[in-house]
Amino acid sequence: MKETPLSNCERAFLLQAITEKKRLDGRQTYDYRNIKITFGTDYGCCIVELGKTRVLGQVSCELVAPKMNRPTEGILFFNLELSSMASPGFESGRSSELVVKLNRLLERCLRNSKCIDTESLCIAAGEKVWQIRVDLHLLNHEGNIIDAASIAAIAALSHFRRPDVSVQGEEVTVYTPEERDPVPLSIHHMPICVSFAFFQQGTYLLVDPSEREERVMDGLLVIAMNKHREICTIQSSGGIMLLKDQVLRCSKVAAVKVAEITELIQKALENDKKVRKEGGKHGFAESIPDQRITVLKMEKAPVDTSDVEEKAEEIIAKSEPPSNIVSKPVIWAEGTAQIGEGLENAWGELEESDDEEEEEEVDQQDEIAAVAEEEPSLKKKTSKDDVIMLSDSEEDEVVILQPDKPSQTRKAAAVAEKESAIQKKTSSTNKKKKKSNR
């Protein structure tokens, strides 16, 4: 997967800022990013953070046969890996041109400069020597890989301890750390790389370029130097022509930066040694800040509750009194309430209609009962003199009365009309109920 290229606007913006001696992260021309060195629990393991660029260094050792042309010297091996985890532009498992160039530069900086006494790694001349392997993994790429890798390599080598060995005749005994204390490597000096980026054919210069600045630079100059101002190696890339004064100026700046970084590495080593001697906690996990979002327990803080009542009274006295106007809740139906303006509850309307229907049914039942009470009295009065016949059919009611007594016939007709009206009313309410249930 290829890296996302910079747009023309981004490129022009970066170049314009560099001409005005400004950088995106607010640094000056010769400023380095913050460097953080963290050692692991095991010897020879460290993580170096150069800004957001992170490199993990791990040193290991094993007994091997020496080289034929150098039978009394140990072997140093460096391997830098650029995984796709650090940047989508890197492909893990493939040695690109950048990987080869960085590995060669590390070998010239650390192995060819004789920073480690390789003769002290010999156990039996021509037979067995220690092979020291330095594995470097780029965890995050944010520019200036070679500087972070060189700091991680020399810090891991300074922190590493190899097992102690004894030789009796032809027998070689390797002791565990429990039997004998491990032995540190013999390091003569600490070479560290310092990178300089050039823009507009060497007109402008920056120290410790970031990832975006590396994309728009014209050339890169890497100077490897120790704190004694001894130059270990120089490499120029990009095809730009540099003047002698430019190289001298870069070497002076590199000498200052190397002295600062070397002092930082030595302080980190002393702190780690002190913590291990005291038996305190150390390692990558202890270097992480304690304040975490996923913390499940919090430390108990003492709270003084002696004058809580007095403070509460003061707060109540200072506070403003409540307003006299208080909105009253509007009860639309049972189980519902509303304060202020708003929409009415539709369920309340249904409940009201059901209540009205129930009230109508009760009134109808009362009327029917009253009529039923009146009927026997009418029958009693008419049984003496007149005969009234009421039909129960749904057809028109037929009343046979004698023409001599009109008052009784009028009463009977009124009762019949009332009964028919009540029956019609009950049938209509039953139909409404069936529809509402549906």
pTM of the model: 0.65
- For residue 338, report the phi and psi dihedrals to the nearest 5 degrees: -150, 135
171: which strand partners?
168
Q: How far is residue 359's CA from residue 364's CA, in Å, rounded to a whole number?
A: 9
Non-local (6+) Cβ contacts of 223 within 8 A are 193, 194, 196, 231, 233, 234, 250, 251, 254
Phi/psi at 106 (5° precision): -65, -40
3-state DSSP assignment of residue 128: strand
Q: Give Cα 311 to chain centroid, integer Å.
A: 41
Per-residue pLDDT, averaged over 326-336, amounts to: 58
d(CA 276, CA 153): 21
Pairing relation of β-strands 192-199 and 219-225? antiparallel
Q: Which pLDDT band, with edges at 50, 70 and 90, does 382 fall under?
A: very low
Q: Is residue 223 classed exposed, middle or buried when 0-12, 13-18 and 19+ CB atoms within 10 A define those classes? A: buried
Pairing of strands 219-225, 231-237: antiparallel
The pLDDT tens digits for 20-76 are 888 888 888 889 999 999 998 889 999 999 999 999 999 999 999 988 888 889 999
User: What are 148-164's pLDDT values in tens digits?
Assistant: 999 999 999 999 999 98
